[in-house]
Chain A
Amino acid sequence: MAIILILASFFGLGLNFSLLKMFWRGGFRQGFVSLEKYPSLSFITLEEAEELFVQSQAIFVDSRPRLQYLEGHILGAINIPYDEFNEAEVLKGGQLSFDKTLVVYCDASECQSSLALSKALNKMGFTEIMIFFGGWEEWKKRGLPTESGDGSK
């Protein structure tokens, strides 16, 4: 068994030396994602999200399930629940624009749907997708504008 574990470590660590270096330098803090594979993605902080919100420069996308969105969301955000993600529906909805910045968020930094949805949107051809990893929790805590109900969808 030890032989197998040594061999696996040798291959696994040796062949991914560049990833190890990136990790060592503090990469992948907000999520494990290859920005080469998903060039449209970037991670933004609460302050950056707030700035985009104030300047009305971006479309905010809530990736949480419908029920949570209805309970409360960032003012003006649209809801694309990752659980029900469907490319055709997103295009048909017409709420997203290919030439606008998208700010995608879910509950908080440990939720996965904002990253997963962002990857899917990247594949669809959206070119500027920012993941606000602090998410709904951080936004609410800061007392920034919110709304509840079916506001934008």
Chain B
Amino acid sequence: MVQNKYIIFVFRLIVGGTFIWAGILKIIDPLEFAQNISNYRVFSRIVSFFLALILPWVEVICGFFLILGFLRRGSALLLSLLLFSFLGLIGVTLIRGINIDCGCFGSLNRKLDISLFFTDLVLLLMCLNIYFFRLK
């Protein structure tokens, strides 16, 4: 775990910025995101719909809080849980061989592939470092 507060600050900027960007793109077009979630063929119609309305706001709020340093650990933990779920979902989708857009950045299409798995893994590691920082 990283113990340098400047590096942690950079992590906060990167993770927070990424989630603010990703969240805003999805808030702009909730139906597009709902369809993207439903394309994973994991969630029911109603779950996809409510996730699409609420999840982008969780991302944006956590992103802002991480950067501002307000509720920093709670935000980091919530984003870590989200990233952990994303990794599981990406893994399952890759194994099932479903060819879809990831939906991560709204209508800016990005195919779901193994590079996305590693991007999320790096974000998760940064997030966990932010979460555990104060304990050191």
Q: A residues engaging B (CB < 8 A)?
A: 1, 3-5, 7-9, 11-13, 16, 19-20, 23, 28-29, 31-34, 37, 83, 110, 112, 115-116
> In the complex, how many angstroms separate the beta carbon of B55 from the nearest chain A beta carbon?
8
CB <8 Å contact, A19 and B32:
no
Instruction: For A110, give its contact among B30, B31, B41 (CB under 8 Å).
Output: B41
- How far is B38's CA from A8's CA once the two chains are assembled, in angstroms? 20
Per the bound structure, the CA–CA distance linking A57 and B55 in Å amounts to: 43
When the two chains form the complex, which single residue of A4, A33, A34, A83 contacts B61, counting CB atoms closer than 8 Å?
A4
A4-B54 in contact (CB<8A):
no
With A3-B71, A4-B58, A4-B61 in contact, is A112–B100 under 8 Å at CB? yes
For A1, give its contact among B31, B35, B57, B78 (CB under 8 Å).
B78
A19 touching B53, Cβ below 8 Å: yes
Interface residues of chain B, those whose CB is within 8 Å of chain A, are: 29-32, 34-35, 38-39, 41, 45, 48-49, 52-58, 61-62, 65, 71, 74-75, 77-78, 99-101
A19 engages B31 (CB within 8 Å): yes
Which of chain A's residues have a CB closer than 8 A to the CB of B38?
A: 31-32, 112
Q: Which of B30, B48, B71 contacts A4 (CB 8 A)?
A: B71
A28 engages B45 (CB within 8 Å): yes
For A23, list chain B residues within 8 Å (CB): 49
- Docked complex Cα distance between A33 and B62 (Å): 27
Across the interface, B65 reaches (CB within 8 A) one of A4, A13, A115, namely A4
Closest Cβ neighbor of A3 among chain B residues: B71
Contacts of A12 in B (CB 8 A): 53-57
Q: Known contacts being A112-B39, A112-B100, is A8 close to B74, with CB within 8 Å?
A: no
Check if B39 sits within 8 Å of A13, measured CB to CB. Answer: no
Is B39 a contact partner of A4 (Cβ separation < 8 A)? no
Most B CB contacts (10 A, CB to CB) among A13, A16, A34 go to A16
Which 8 A-B residue pairings sit nearest by Cβ, starting from the closest?
A8-B57, A32-B34, A12-B54, A32-B35, A12-B53, A8-B58, A12-B57, A112-B39
The CA-CA distance from A37 to B28 in the complex, in Å, is: 12
Question: Would you call B34 and A28 a contact (CB within 8 A)?
Answer: yes
CB neighbours (8 Å) of A11 from chain B are 57, 61
Task: Return the contact of A33 from the options B31, B54, B71, B78 (Cβ within 8 A).
Answer: B31
Query: Is B54 a contact of A8 with CB atoms below 8 Å?
Result: yes
